[in-house]
Amino acid sequence: MPRLVMKFGGTSVANLDRIRRVAKRVGVEVAKGYEVIVVVSAMSGKTNELVGWVNETSPLFDAREYDAVVSSGENVTAGLLALILQENGVDARSWQGWQVPVKTSSAHSTARILDIPTANFDAKFAEGMKVAVVAGFQGVSAEGRITTLGRGGSDTTAVAFAAAHQAERCDIYTDVDGVYTTDPRITSKARKLDRIAFEEMLELASLGAKVLQTRSVELAMRYKVRLRVLSSFEDMGDDAGTLVCAEEDIMESNVVAGVAFVRDEAKMTLISVADRPGVSAAIFGPLAEAGVNVDMIVQNIAEDGRTDMTFSLPVDQVARAEKAVREAMAREEINFHDLIADTDVSKVSVVGIGMRSHAGVAARMFGALSAEGINIKVITTSEIKISVLIDRKYMELAVQALHDVFGLEKA
């Protein structure tokens, strides 16, 4: 029998009524003849509550016990859904990560999935089990300790199960009915996409789109797992939602698929850095060790043996970044005349696989921003994206202007 993976996020299982609604959706797929693997998150807000308890109990907590505590939310959801399915006459069992087992690395709270053996599920499905309800976000290390995959890890769990079991599809149920050309809260012209390529979705996810977790899209692209993003709160047909698939499964793409944004960015510039071999490593090494997520990097042309180095980062990491580079300067690893941080910028990006074969995308993008009087502070490009840093007060205007200039409201 074909297998289907269904993943339900925290808002989809926020209370018993919603879990009952999930059970009905699962029952529909069982009736179609699927062996179903359901991956569930903790009830909405529960993980934050558990994390708060850990921090209150032990600010310098043992990471192994942190994972033991915060993974418990998914166990509750999995057990409740299995019980409701049984009450509905569906042979279902709940599975925690260690029971599957979901084998992971030993990096507690940021573990990576190494392997998901299928033997246990194969045997249970052969015995008549119809639904396996899996606690997402968790696994087990080689040492036998519970591990967690980091925030959004249930998406990654679902895709990994779909890859391991060669599932026909992986359906991700959330509180939106698909992937949009941009955030509908920014512009009412935002349009739901019927299909989007893995590469486009990966770029949009990494650039601020919140629909799918980046690691899950990376995994889906690597193993060619067809993803479908659906709403838990609307009754929809088999062709509903947005299918995330290989580029060759899309007849023809628009030049630009979507506009993404990150509202709370910062721009940091080191003024008059010595221009010598190894200076970039001397700057970005300490930043990496401090856990600073550097994104866009621009180096000015050196004239007198010195140069300016500019990079973007999340605004809440500015203090950490300043401390790291000043400590590196004190150790005489780097030398600069001044450090300037602009904490009032946003990043706006256009993404599309059609950019590979169409010229003039940058010109249209920059022209649209210029027409609105929006100054560009930093530009970076790749084969299928162009990103700019702009003043935060112009972010929504920029998104609307770019959505219009590329005609994204049109199918």
182 is known to lie in a ligand binding site = no
Burial 203-225 (b: 16+ CB within 10 A, else e): bbbbbbbebbbbbbbbbbbeeeb
8 is in an annotated binding site: yes
Strand pairing partners for 180?
Answer: 192
Tokens of 269: 């510039």
CA atoms within 13 A on the CB side of 363: 3
Structure tokens at 215: 């690691």
Is 180 annotated for ligand binding?
Answer: yes
Q: Is 175 annotated as a binding residue?
A: yes
Backbone φ and ψ of 132, nearest 5°: -105, 120
Distances (CA, A) of 89 to 10, 21, 22, 304, 319: 25, 15, 15, 78, 56
Distance CA 286, CA 238 (A): 50
The reply, when asked if residue 210 is annotated as ligand binding, is: yes
Q: Would the annotation count 66 as a binding residue?
A: no
Give the other-Cβ count within 10 Å of 70's Cβ. Answer: 23
Task: Confirm or deny that 9 is annotated as ligand binding.
Answer: yes
Question: Residue 325 has which token pair?
Answer: 């580079």
Q: Is position 168 annotated in a ligand binding site? A: no
| 10 marked as binding residue | yes
Place of tokens 């210029």: 370
- The residues facing 389 across adjacent strands are 347, 378
The neighbouring-strand residues paired with 338 are: 271
Could you list the residues known to form a binding site for substrate, using ranges. 47, 74
Could you list the residues known to form a binding site for ATP, using ranges. 7-10, 174-175, 180, 185, 210-211
Could you list the residues known to form a binding site, using ranges. 7-10, 47, 74, 174-175, 180, 185, 210-211
